[in-house]
Structure 1
Amino acid sequence: MRLVRNLLALVGVLALVTLGVAILALEPYVNKARSLDEAALAVYAGMARTILETGDPMEAMVYQRRAAAGLSVSEVETALDQAAREFGLHSLGTLAVQRQVLAQTGRDFPLLQIHLFCDPDLASDLIRHNPSMAAFLPCRVIVYRDEDERIWLMTPNLDLVIHGGRPLPLVLQERALGLQQMLRDMVDKAAGADA
């Protein structure tokens, strides 16, 4: 009985030591986590859920919609450009990836276009806040055709940029959220869905 009691006491002491080491090791991260945007943990949890469901981290990093059946690429592009003008976004052009692949390799490639848009005022404010934000600019909407000949539109999910770290200044955060909503509305409208 004495041996069992001593073993249980040893296990208890080891558990307390392990707990103490874990607290000491994790404490700096807990304090850092407190400095994050209040929505950061929800954003990371949502991304993790999507990754676990799909097995693909890229699915968590984009917002996408399939274009309504019967819409042509030309109709989707026209609707996309019209929506951009409605929202006051400046078009910076379109990169026709399929043409570039064909020109450089001689091989056909499915439709893949990258439409570039910009709100120069917001872009400059975001870059002044953090130059790394330039990596997410200009704003992009991708139009592509899948292997089943369906047309899709997608844009980056900016949740991580907006809420993933220390909070943006409130005015900048509101403007960035507005831009994200505009891009999603553009995708929805061009896909033939009412936003």
Structure 2
Amino acid sequence: MRKVILGISVLVITLFMSGCATMHMGWTAVTEQHKLDDGAMQAYDDMFTNVAKYGDPARAMMKEFKVEKDVTGDDVKESITALVEEYNMRLTGYVKMFTKEDAKPNEVKEARIYSLCSLYIAKVFLNHSRYFGGFMPCRIMYIKYGNGDAYLITMDLNLAIHGGYPLPPKMLSLATKVEKAMTEIPERAAKGDF
């Protein structure tokens, strides 16, 4: 009997403890939501839904664009280099991480990183909060697998823009421009666009 009571007690405590975090999160969302950007709850819900579906928090914070079969890594480089100026961005860095010629079909064969930034916008955001520096410079990652599939991956800036208190109008306008650039540049580069 003592073992049964102990087992039930452990079960109740476990359920209560795990439920407390969920209840606290819900309570905070309900009581503090009025302070947040109108898009905050949807942004967090989208991220959490993605994490629950795939179990990969990194995936939940990224956008991905499949590179067309006839577009090479060098084509992507040329495309990104040409497109950054159109969006008033600057290519602040490029690194070809590695190429592995004998990669297995599901293994990364080639990886490249592009760093993009608008120095003016970076300064405005750093003056608002130094923690925005963790998002800088914006990056686009080129990944090609041994089977020939290639992707461009960049950070989904939705949470950085809408995940907290509303940004001042000027900052929101600037952030929206960066988000547009960091969506359209890899989207177009995946097609070899200039």
Segments of structure 2 that go 5 or more residues without pairing to the other structure are 1-22, 101-106
Alpha-carbon separation, structure 1, partners of 2:27 and 2:187: 43
The equivalences for 1:6-45 within 5 A come to 30-45=30-45
Cα distance change on mapping 1:32 and 1:149 into 2, 3 Å: same
Contact 1:154 1:187 in 2 (8 A): yes
65-74 or 28-37, which deviates more: 28-37
61-70 or 88-97, which deviates more: 88-97
112-121 or 185-194, which deviates more: 185-194
Contact 1:36 1:166 in 2 (8 A): yes
SS in 1 for 2:109: coil
Aligned positions, number: 165
Contact 1:68 1:192 in 2 (8 A): yes
Deviation >3 Å, runs of 4+: 23-31
Greater C-alpha radius of gyration: 1
Percent identity, aligned pairs only, is 22
> Quick check: which one's strand share is greater?
2
Which string of whole-angstrom CA distances, capped at 9 and with x for unpartnered residues, describes residues 79-111 of structure 1? 111111211211112122227x9xxxxxx9731
61-70 or 142-151, which deviates more: 142-151
* Correspondence 1:121 to 2:152: no
Aligned to 2:18: none
TM-score of the superposed pair, with normalisation by structure 1: 0.76
Aligned to 2:59: 59
Contact 1:37 1:163 in 2 (8 A): yes
CA RMSD of aligned residues (A): 2.6
Alpha-carbon separation, structure 1, partners of 2:25 and 2:124: 37
Segments of structure 1 that go 5 or more residues without pairing to the other structure are 1-22, 102-107
84-93 or 128-137, which deviates more: 84-93
The equivalences for 1:1-195 within 5 A come to 30-98=30-98, 110-192=109-191
